[in-house]
Structure 1
């Protein structure tokens, strides 16, 4: 009997095994708060596609497969994304009941991909093992990519969990994180069909060995350097103010906030005399109008002049006046001479934190949603690098680092290093901070760029082009850290192929469905 064939009778206990497996693998694979286990167990997420496929194969109908896959994935998403209610409550100002409901709704929407995958497995159950594995691998890729484009919150792709072990994500330089997830799904599906024939298991093991061998070759070919020297290298200073989120925007605390960052930066500069690093402060580190006439702004510019170093900081940007005023989540780059070298406005805003989604803009909810941010998205054409001292910084703010096409655009526009400033303080001590860090690390591999990540409460980091975190800060510490990085101009095969991968995968999937052989004995 084929591995995925439905048993004659499925007991209530056996019906719980697969959903429970999906739930546990998502929870433990992407991060959990359990103190006695490692923060995450990345390989477990690789079991999610075959478990969902097995669920779909054993279902009595396509609808049953969809429902079981969706509900199982929803339970796992709820456990992995429970922290969503924290920023929705603290940033958006929604009551706890609505915050929890919004978080559950987001998890419900994202987990529908699990239902679609299980339903696809049921529909394709008569295909030959190789066609089945390849088709479902392509479907997994297209689901991850499609949900990222449509839903706008691609927080739990398989590559985001695997990034904790850089060996597993090296092929992302060839195909990107989403297609790599599809490849791993296809290989695991082949391996799960071992009882149907040894050759399928051997093929799966050979493909896995090739992926791991490629990863090992890439990592060995460029050893990790915490402090790279030589041509193109430069110093980096990351300051974490650890500013209390409930005080940050109060006018009475603005001066103290500036003094905190000035003190942290000056102390680290004093420890490295003669160095002129790129100074990075986090997203909205300066919570005031960053105008030339503001005395606090002048203090920041004076620091850049004294250090003879470029300074990158986040601050709100204001344009227009009165009802026509627009507020932007902005990153300013101050040149070593104190002048403004340029700025970037965040283009991909966070729903419920920085804006209210259009589908929720109802009059009867206006009172509940009045505290939600009113930021305006930056223009997509404004993606040119911020330039100073030979650096061309491709800017990403907060969760923009989880979108592969944004990093792709920055590099296409000429960025030789990527900078991601963020404020993850709203996540508390939940796994979200680690999840965010590893999602960003995948972009380094895809684009062959160093990523400089500055945050308010952690996790600040320097990530090398192999996705290795060569400098990593703590969380909720008032500190500054010193590191080095290198400018790079070479691009990856994925950078060239990225626009063609989704349509190519869709065409290949269509060909497999139309022309792929069908088994008669299932």
Structure 2
């Protein structure tokens, strides 16, 4: 059993080495799951009892190693509240994903008992994709470790994500690992040579055809010219201090940096998440001094728009939402992590962040009130943020559609695609990655933005408070980027695009198919068990 545990841990280490932002090691994703499959197979073939429990425990340990090493930086966002709280809370993202991954492996074992090895392995891929889809769809959503994200630093290999999204990458990784595993078992079990030759042929085809198509697509891809001049700003304000800084001083810095690169024809200025950190009542926005200051700045740019993050709120006379807080005088108030588009007209457009960070911005399973004290230690605003149910698109006076994506939302491919379907011609990501400090977290977050560019064939204009700000073209190339923890601005002529990719139109259709197949597999497991 020690051998199987070592195989599982080795699998976790291979996946960690292959994971972004590590460069030149992405190929290890094609072999990283083989040791895990070997360990599971050894347990299945062994005479031990309670095989299902052993498979669950073994796979959990291996996947825990992969997850905790890859997202170690989560702890950095929590340590301000002290180790006694930060460590147990950090264990949630470290261990929750591995628990779901291990559950997929356990279901594979149960399905394998009711079918065969080959069909069971197909079921394993479906169970895994179902876990990934679940983990982006519930209150504890954290799709950071979706397997297809692993190619973010090797974007030339996965240009076909415009058809499949990241779930196509999940299938690709599993398919190659399974073929290598079957080749290994065919040698160990002395199966016929013809069978091994078929496996080798399948392996070559599954590896080469998607890779070859992607490279062809990458080098032959041509953007349709439709230029727009954009400036992104990185003010580099310490996130732990910015909420005590008056908006006037923040805007002075932002406008100075914007002016340093702006042209008369600049159409967009992108400022980062919560760049306007003081609470601004949305219904009183036009009378706010920060708004007047931004409007004065835009007076120098006839076609200019400012897309900026803002800490905003709305006040009601009745409790219209479950997130509204009770205020003196019988009033209710919702707070938002929002984006706003300000232009040279009286029109103001707001977007309220919808994919909220569990614990820090919303209480998971809010009906379970006993969880609230545990999560209230995360940033002091747990559960107080409101959100909107649907995506938003900002439209300029000239008709340009921009997709405002706030921080964490950029790892949801289908969410971004929905904005593009509604008319977004480019994607504006505003974020504040300083909470993670100078760790792999900021680099992974930037790399994942490349996937959104490929899926939708849209330019990404990324403004990060403390880094890394960047421009990413429709092929996923980082055309410009800032350094970490530097006050700066970047300027770029981007191309607007109104065409839809297959993925933009159909979104996450692959995991939805996998979910139905998984349901059929689960029914078959129960049926066979009852029959026995």
Q: Which TM-score applies when normalising by structure 1?
A: 0.85
By how many angstroms is 1:212 displaced? 0.3
Identify the match of residue 192 of structure 1 among 169, 181, 184: 181
**In 2, distance between residues paired with 1:364 and 1:380?**
26
Identify the match of residue 430 of structure 1 among 435, 439, 457: 439
Identify the match of residue 261 of structure 2 among 268, 272, 281: 268
Task: Please state if 1:372 is matched with 2:362.
Answer: no
**2:336 maps to which residue?**
328
Cα gap change, 1:232 to 1:298, in 2 (>3 Å): same
Structure 1 contact 248–254 (Cα < 8 Å) conserved: no
Structure 2 contact 391–419 (Cα < 8 Å) conserved: no
**In 1, distance between residues paired with 2:473 and 2:297?**
28
By how many angstroms is 1:375 displaced? 4.1
Structure 1 contact 129–190 (Cα < 8 Å) conserved: no
**In 2, distance between residues paired with 1:31 and 1:56?**
26
Identify the match of residue 62 of structure 1 among 52, 71, 74: 52
**1:169 maps to which residue?**
158
By how many angstroms is 1:140 displaced? 2.6
Cα gap change, 1:429 to 1:397, in 2 (>3 Å): same
**In 2, distance between residues paired with 1:148 and 1:40?**
28
Structure 2 contact 305–396 (Cα < 8 Å) conserved: no
Cα gap change, 1:210 to 1:305, in 2 (>3 Å): same
Identify the match of residue 316 of structure 1 among 305, 311, 317: 311
Q: Per the alignment, in what secondary structure is the counterpart of residue 287 of structure 1? A: strand
Deviations 1:285-337 (A, max 9, x none): 111244333333312111112122111111111110635111111111111x2
Structure 1 contact 29–43 (Cα < 8 Å) conserved: yes
**In 2, distance between residues paired with 1:388 and 1:208?**
47
**In 2, distance between residues paired with 1:50 and 1:177?**
21
By how many angstroms is 1:130 displaced? 5.0
Structure 1 contact 305–338 (Cα < 8 Å) conserved: no
**In 1, distance between residues paired with 2:101 and 2:371?**
31
Of 147-156 and 126-135, the range deviating more from structure 2: 126-135
Identify the match of residue 448 of structure 1 among 457, 468, 486: 457
Structure 1 contact 242–478 (Cα < 8 Å) conserved: yes
**1:237 maps to which residue?**
231
Deviations 1:68-127 (A, max 9, x none): 10122112211112211222344xxx3322111111122111111331233244345576
Structure 2 contact 108–127 (Cα < 8 Å) conserved: no
**2:36 maps to which residue?**
52
Task: Please state if 1:279 is matched with 2:266.
Answer: no
**1:3 maps to which residue?**
none
**In 1, distance between residues paired with 2:438 and 2:273?**
19
Structure 1 contact 159–439 (Cα < 8 Å) conserved: no
**In 2, distance between residues paired with 1:314 and 1:414?**
21
> Which segments of 5 or more consecutive residues in structure 2 lack a partner in the other structure?
187-195, 317-326, 526-532
**In 2, distance between residues paired with 1:435 and 1:193?**
32
Of 386-395 and 122-131, the range deviating more from structure 2: 122-131
Alignment of 1:284-363 (within 5 A): 284-290=274-280, 291-308=285-302, 309-320=304-315, 322=327, 323-335=331-343, 337=344, 339-357=346-364, 358=366, 359=368, 361=370
Cα gap change, 1:301 to 1:395, in 2 (>3 Å): same
**1:246 maps to which residue?**
240
**2:498 maps to which residue?**
489
Cα gap change, 1:107 to 1:388, in 2 (>3 Å): farther
**1:144 maps to which residue?**
132
Q: Per the alignment, in what secondary structure is the counterpart of residue 193 of structure 1? A: helix
**In 2, distance between residues paired with 1:497 and 1:382?**
16
**In 1, distance between residues paired with 2:123 and 2:372?**
46
Deviations 1:214-253 (A, max 9, x none): 1111101126xxxx7x7421111110000012220114x5
**1:84 maps to which residue?**
74
**In 2, distance between residues paired with 1:370 and 1:481?**
30
**2:62 maps to which residue?**
72
By how many angstroms is 1:427 displaced? 0.7
Task: Please state if 1:27 is matched with 2:16.
Answer: yes
By how many angstroms is 1:145 displaced? 1.5
Deviations 1:227-283 (A, max 9, x none): x7x7421111110000012220114x54332221111111112xxx44323110001
Runs of 4+ in 1 over 4 A off after TM superposition: 124-130, 359-370, 507-515
**1:520 maps to which residue?**
none
Aligned residues: CA RMSD: 2.7
**1:43 maps to which residue?**
27
Cα gap change, 1:142 to 1:382, in 2 (>3 Å): closer
Cα gap change, 1:436 to 1:366, in 2 (>3 Å): closer
Alignment of 1:152-163 (within 5 A): 152-163=141-152
Of 236-245 and 104-113, the range deviating more from structure 2: 104-113
Cα gap change, 1:40 to 1:79, in 2 (>3 Å): farther
Q: Per the alignment, in what secondary structure is the counterpart of residue 324 of structure 1? A: strand
Q: Per the alignment, in what secondary structure is the counterpart of residue 335 of structure 2? A: strand
By how many angstroms is 1:128 displaced? 5.9
